Amino acid sequence: MLFCTLISCSGTGKSNETVKAVEKSDSCKLDSKNTYEVYIPERNNSVGKLPLLVIIDAHGDGKFALNKFKEGAKQYPIVLIASNLIKNGFEGYEGAIQTLVEDVRQKYPIGETVFMTGFSGGARMVLGYALSHQVNGLILCGALANPDQINALRCPVISISGMDDFNFMETSQYLFQEQLAPVNLKIELTNASHSWPDSLMLANELGFLRLSCQTDDIPSLPKSQLELYCQHQQSRIDTLKMQGDFLKALLVARNMASTEPFNNDKTFASTYETLKINPGYLNQMQKLEKCLNFEISVRQPYMDDFRTKDTLWWKNEISTTDEKIKTEPDAFTKDMYMRIKAFLGIVSYTFCRQAIKERNMEGLNKILSIYRMLEPENPDMLYFSSFPYFWKGNNEATLSMLKKALKEGFSDRSQLKNDFPESISSKL
């Protein structure tokens, strides 16, 4: 009996040992090209399996995207997996994500609980995957979906949207008629434009999913952590109110008041009801509605202007918009002009791709002249600028422009290899 007791104590001691954090690159056994980044936070050896967060970046930059979630993974223990393969325009993304999830399950200490997140096109892909696979929660950054798609999901859907993001229109539809918004949709607003939110915001949303997810296959977090989270959200609401950000404060209160177990704290519901009739909130919603209506009214005319207006007209128009962004005192109006300018950048991108596909040099040069004024350091614009030189047979200028694009952040090497011969791509 004494021997058995000693063995038992020895085993218990081992179970309390700390397991060091893991950070590495890996690839799927069934597809070596399907590579991904891995992060497992430091944890106690007694902890069994952890939930999984699959991260899809629009540009396939797994390491960059994974780093955004590391602080959250430490605070709310979870295994992070970020794809290096799946990105905008990737065909067969559902199968590639499924291969990734199955590979991770064979190698790492994860349970059945799977969360997913993506930015921009990555958000659209994880949404598409979740519509036909079991997922326990989504964090969609810089893109959202229609009500039917969100209602079809049996899990929380957190939308993080920049108010100055050209895709903000997809989120704004859910801000005015609460009764029509899907009950599983939780909205957070930032001023991050069209990019991944900062690590603090992402850690906050990871905590929301982790603490509200009720599954038996992963260890529950201590009650004290839930209490601290609720205190932090109340502090966020108070700070936002002091700053005059009534809309953002209301959304935080609504998210908490509509979700178990956070809604056990009745303060969130009462705060939400109070904010709904706050004059500051009502005034902000009137401003937002006016700005959105104006934005909608100018989008189609601007698209027509790409074909009908000359470079001088565009120079004056862009200069006027830049001045309004610089001097506009009202935050909602300033965000509107930033969204309009970003929209023009997206239209420029789309028309450039079309001109390249049609090998339309004249059309491409005209769009590039506008694109260059809008976003002079945009890596896609610099990349597209290499095509006129390439079509003329000027390989030296082509290489020079491609090097500028790479220096500014163009990262789609596979696209580059498809668009240009090896005599050029091999020198970059």
Which tens digits make up the pLDDT trace of 40-93? 998 877 667 899 999 999 999 999 999 999 999 999 999 999 999 999 989 999
Which of 3.40.50.620, 3.30.2350.10, 3.40.50.1820, 3.30.930.10 is the CATH number of 19-221?
Answer: 3.40.50.1820
Residue 47 is predicted with a pLDDT of 66
Q: What are phi and psi of 353, to 5 degrees?
A: -60, -40
CA-CA-CA-CA torsion sign (21, 23, 24, 26): positive
pLDDT at 412: 84
| Predicted TM-score of the model (pTM) | 0.90
Mean pLDDT confidence for 274-300? 97
- Region 350-371: what's the mean pLDDT? 96
Q: Which two tokens stand for residue 165?
A: 């993001």
DSSP states along 344-393: HHHHHHHHHHHHHHTT-HHHHHHHHHHHHHH-TT-HHHHHHTHHHHHHTT
pLDDT tens column, 183-209: 999 999 998 788 999 999 999 999 999
pLDDT at position 46: 66
Residue span(s) of the chain under CATH 3.40.50.1820 come to 19-221
Q: Where in the chain is the domain with CATH 1.25.40?
A: 282-425
Number of residues that this document lists for the chain: 428
Query: Could you give the angle at the alpha carbon of 85 between the alpha carbons of 130 and 171, nearest 5°?
Result: 45
Interval 126-170: pLDDT, tens = 999 999 999 999 999 999 999 999 999 989 999 999 999 999 999
| CATH hierarchy code of domain 282-425 | 1.25.40
pLDDT at residue 413, as a whole number: 86
Q: Is the pLDDT of residue 16 over 80?
A: no
Quote the pLDDT of residue 13.
45
Question: CB within 8 A of 371, min separation 6: which ones?
Answer: 345, 348, 349, 352, 378, 381, 384
Nearest to 255 by CA among 188, 186, 202, 178: 186
Q: Is the pLDDT of residue 107 over 80?
A: yes
Across all residues in the chain, what is the average pLDDT? 93
In this prediction, what percent of the chain has a pLDDT beyond 70? 96
Give the span between the Cα atoms of 71 and 69, in whole angstroms: 6
> Which pLDDT score, from 0 to 100, does residue 69 have?
98
DSSP reduced 3-state for 420: coil
pLDDT in tens, 385-421: 999 999 999 999 999 999 999 999 898 888 899 999 9
User: Band of the pLDDT at 2, cuts 50, 70, 90?
Assistant: very low
Query: Quick check: bond before 147 cis, omega within 30?
Result: no
